[in-house]
Structure 1
Amino acid sequence: MADPLTLLPEALVGKARALDAADPLAAYRDEFVEVDGLVAYLDGNSLGRPLKTTRERLASFVDGPWGSRLIRAWDESWMDAPTELGDLIGRVVLGAAPGQTVVADSTTVMLYKLVRAAVAARPGREEIIADTQNFPTDRYVLEGVAAECGLRIRWISPDPAAGVTVEQVRAELGPRTAAVLLSHVAYKSAYVADLPAITAAAHAAGALAIWDLCHSAGALELALDEAGVDLAAGCTYKYLNGGPGSPAFGYVARRLQDELRQPIQGWMGHAEPFAMGPGYEPASGIRRFISGTPPIVGMLPMRDMLTLVERAGTPAIRAKSIALTGLAVEIADEALAAYGVTVASPRDPALRGGHVLLEHPDFERVTAELWRRGVIPDFRPPRGLRIGLSPLSTSFTELAAGLGHVAQLLAEGPDRRSALP
C-alpha cells in the first residue's frame, strides 16, 4: 500500500506539517491514551479519546473514595457532585455563572425534563418550534412531549448543508409558541446557528429557547448567560471526553429555576432527600432538576478533560478547530473532488462547528475499509462521511493522512482496481 500522503498535493501535506510545527496546543496530544494501529482518529465529535490520567483516576477511585470511604463518601462529597461538576462545566465551557448547571441523566432524559418543564411554564401556548434536520433524539423527545401534552410541532425544513436561520424561526414564532428547541451546531452539516439572535427572537414572542449543545460544548466558545439562554442540555462524551455513556449536563437560567417544575420527580431532587417523606417538595435552585441517584463513576473522566480545556482555553481550542476543519475542506477541494466528493458543511468558518461532512455515494463502503486501516471517521446515511476533529487530541498531519486514505480508496474503487496513473 502506497503512503496515502503521496495522494495529496505536496503543498497541502507541507501545510499540515507546518501547522503542526506552529500549533500552540500540540503538546496536549501527549496527554491522551496511545492506541496501537491507530492512523487517524476522525470521530472525536462522537466519542472523545480517553486521557492517560483518567486511567489513574478510575483506579484510585476504587481504592480511595469507593473502597475506603464506602457509603460515607456520599456525605463527604458525592451528594454535591452533580452541582459541583455542573458549576465546573458552566465556568469552563458554557459561560454560565454557578448554580445553573447540573450533571445528571442521559441527554435524552435531560432534554425531556427541560422541554416538559418549559411547555408547562407557558400554559395556553400549544406550539413548539423544531427542525427536521435535528438529531433524532431531539425530534423523538419533542414528538413524545407533543403527544403527551396535546401540542403541535411547527417543523422548519432547513437546507441540509446549512441549518436553521433566525429568519426561519421568526417566520414560525407567534403568540401560540411555547418553546423553541434547536441544536447550536447541526450534527450533520456542522452549521452553527445564531444562538443569541434566535434566543432573542423567541423571547420577543414570549417563548422559551432550549438549546442542544452536544456538538458545541468544549469545541466552541459559549456565553449562555450573556445570550440570555433559558435552557440547554448536552452530552459529555464528545469534546468533554467523559467516556461512553457519561452523564449529560443541563443548564437552567437562574431566573427560571423557581418557576419551572421538572416532570421526573425523584428523591435526589427533593428538598430533603433523606427525610423520606410522603410527598414531593422540590429542592431550591438547580438541584430540583436532579431525579435519581447521581452517576458518580460516570462523572470521573470528564474532570480530567475539563482541566485540560480550562488550561488550553476555549479561544485557542476554537482557533485550532477552525484551522483543522479549514484544512479538511481544502483537502476535499483539491484532492477528493476529482473523485466526486462534495463538501456538505458551511465554508464560512464562523458558521462551521468542529466537524466537516463530506458526501460521496461510495462512502459507506469506504468507511468500513477505513476502519480496518485504523482511520476512524463515521458514516452518516445516505452518503455522508463525517470528519470529527477534537482540537486537543488531533494533529493536522493525522487529518491529512486520514483523508489520504480516503483518496486512495476512492481511486481504487469498489473492485479495488487502481484508477491512478
Structure 2
Amino acid sequence: MTPEALDAADVLAPFRQRFTLPAETIYLDGNSLGALPRDTAARMAEAVRSEWGEGLIRSWNDAGWVDAPGRIGDKIARLIGAGPGEVIACDSTSVNVFKALTGALSLAPERRVILSERGNFPTDVYMMQGIAALGGGQVEARLVEPGALEDAIDQTVAVVLVTQVHYKTGRVRDMAGLTRRAHEAGATIVWDLSHSAGAIPVDLAGAGPDFAVGCGYKYLNGGPGAPAFLYVARRHQNRVMPALSGWFGHADPFAFDDTYRPAEGVGRFLVGTPSVLGLAALEVGVDLFLEADMATVRAKSLSLSGLFIERMAPLCAGHGFRLASPENPAERGSQVSYSHPEGYAIMRALIARGVIGDFRAPDIVRFGFTPLYTSHADVAAAVAVLAEVMETGAWDRPEYRSRAAVT
C-alpha cells in the first residue's frame, strides 16, 4: 500500500489534530521529547492562574495537588500493565533508578552486585556506580556485554538493572524471560521503561518484575523535564525502607515528627514536595494516551518503522547507512537507528530542512515513530529529504559539523 492509502486506513489519524505540530516540520524525535498536546497549554494556564493564583496554598487540598502523584501514577499503571497503587509519578528517572536500586539491595543484604549491560543508558549506569561509591566497597557495579547478561546472573547478584527498549538501537528485551531468570537466581530486577511506556505493550503484572522506572516526557508527552514514574510491586512495598526518606514519603507528613515513619504502600517512595505544574502537564499527556488502544498503537508503530526501513534500503546500498536496529519487527521498539560515520552532520542537515530526529554518539542517527501523530506520509517524505541531503552532499558543510550542546 502507498503511504497515502495507509494513512487513509489509519484509525489513529484523528489524534494528530490533538497535538501542536509546527508547519513544514516532520517530527521524528518523540522518543526523546514528545510533542505538545493541544490541551496542555490551557491546563497549565488553569493551574497557574486559578489554582495557584487564586487558590494559593488551599489548592493542595481543593485542587487535588497532594493526590496528584498517586492519581497520575494509577493512570500510568494502566499503560504498563500494573495495578492500582503500584505506580507513583514523581521526581526524575535518575532519582527513581536510585530509589529502585537501593530498595532492591535492601531486599538481599547478603548480596553485593548490581548487574547491567555495557551500553545501557548512561544515567542508569552512573547511578549504579554512584551507589557503589556510596557503599564504600560493599556494593559492586558490574557491567557485562549485552549478550552475556542472562548468563552473568549468578548467586552474587542482588539486582539486575536492564532497559526494555534500548535507547540507541531500539532493541526490545524479553521482560518475562529475563525476570524469570533473575528470580530463579534469587536476584531482583529493575526495568527501565523510558522507551517502552506509550511505545510498546508492557505487562508488568504478567512478567512479575520487582521494580520499574520510566520518564514522562517521551511517548507520554508530558513536556520537557516532566516528572517520571516508579513502579514497586505490591509484594515489596512495605518491606523496603526508602534510602531517600523525604517528608512526603512519611506516614503523616503534617505531623512533623522528628523520626521518619514510612507511609504504607508505594507512597513511601515519594521524597520532597511534588512538582505540581509538571504533574499537571503530564496528566494531560497520559489522559490523551489512555484514549488510544495500545495494540493499535503498536501495529501502527511497526507499520511506520517498516516503511522507513523499506524506503531506506537504497540509501544503505548507496550512501553507507547501516541498520543498527533489529530487522525483526518483534524485537524493535518504536524507533529505527542507523549508523553512519558522518551521522552528526547528516542529522544537522536534516533538521535544517525540517526533518527532526537526533544523533547518539558515536555514529547513530535515530528516528522515533510516535503513532498518535506521525503519519506514513511523514515517513516517506523524511526519507526523500534524507536522500536529497546525501545525493547533493548538502550535509558536508562546516556549520553542520559544529557540535551543539544537545545532540
TM-score when normalising by structure 1: 0.91
For 1:211, the equivalent position in structure 2 comes to 191
Counterpart Cα distance in 2 of 1:378 and 1:83 = 33
Q: Which amino acid aligns with 1:30?
A: Q
Which of 106, 110, 121 is matched with 1:124 structurally?
110
The C-alpha deviation readout for 1:67-102, integer Å capped at 9, x for no partner, is: 2221111123111111111011101x1111101100
Counterpart Cα distance in 2 of 1:268 and 1:389 = 37
Aligned length in residues? 393
Which of 395, 401, 417 is matched with 2:381 structurally?
401
Counterpart Cα distance in 2 of 1:380 and 1:306 = 27
Indicate how the Cα distance of structure 1 residues 415 and 140 shifts in structure 2: closer, same or farther if over 3 A, else same. closer
For 1:263, the equivalent position in structure 2 comes to 243
* 1:173 maps to 2:142: no
User: Aligned-pair RMSD on alpha carbons?
Assistant: 1.3
For 1:105, the equivalent position in structure 2 comes to 91
Deviation, 1:301, is 2.0
Deviation, 1:126, is 1.1
Map 1:242-253 → 2, pairs under 5 A: 242-253=222-233
SS in 1 for 2:21: coil
Map 1:87-236 → 2, pairs under 5 A: 87-91=74-78, 93-149=79-135, 150-158=138-146, 164=147, 168-236=148-216
For 2:38, the equivalent position in structure 1 comes to 52
* 1:324 maps to 2:301: no
Counterpart Cα distance in 1 of 2:279 and 2:378 = 29
Deviation, 1:154, is 2.9
Q: Percent identity?
A: 43
For 2:317, the equivalent position in structure 1 comes to 337
Q: Which amino acid aligns with 1:365?
A: A
Counterpart Cα distance in 1 of 2:271 and 2:389 = 49
Q: Which amino acid aligns with 1:116?
A: T
Deviation, 1:351, is 0.3
SS in 1 for 2:149: helix
Counterpart Cα distance in 2 of 1:193 and 1:264 = 29
Q: Gaps (5+ residues) in structure 2?
A: 398-407
TM-score when normalising by structure 2: 0.94
Instruction: Answer yes or no: is the 8 Å Cα contact 2:164–2:191 preserved in 1.
Output: yes
Counterpart Cα distance in 1 of 2:91 and 2:314 = 44
Counterpart Cα distance in 2 of 1:393 and 1:34 = 9
Instruction: Answer yes or no: is the 8 Å Cα contact 2:117–2:149 preserved in 1.
Output: no
Deviation, 1:275, is 0.7
Q: What stretches of structure 1 move > 6 A for 4+ residues in a row?
A: none
Indicate how the Cα distance of structure 1 residues 132 and 18 shifts in structure 2: closer, same or farther if over 3 A, else same. same
Q: Which amino acid aligns with 2:229?
A: F
For 1:71, the equivalent position in structure 2 comes to 57
Q: Which amino acid aligns with 2:243?
A: P
SS in 2 for 1:370: helix
Q: Gaps (5+ residues) in structure 1?
A: 1-13, 159-163, 417-421
The C-alpha deviation readout for 1:352-373, integer Å capped at 9, x for no partner, is: 0010001111221111111111
Deviation, 1:269, is 0.5
Instruction: Answer yes or no: is the 8 Å Cα contact 1:169–1:198 preserved in 2.
Output: no
SS in 2 for 1:98: coil
For 2:253, the equivalent position in structure 1 comes to 273
Moved more, 113-122 or 306-315: 306-315
Q: Which amino acid aligns with 2:354?
A: G
Which of 80, 83, 94 is matched with 2:70 structurally?
83
Instruction: Answer yes or no: is the 8 Å Cα contact 1:336–1:407 preserved in 2.
Output: no
Structure possessing the higher relative contact order (Cα contacts under 8 Å, 6 or more residues apart): 1
Q: Which amino acid aligns with 1:109?
A: V
Deviation, 1:261, is 1.5
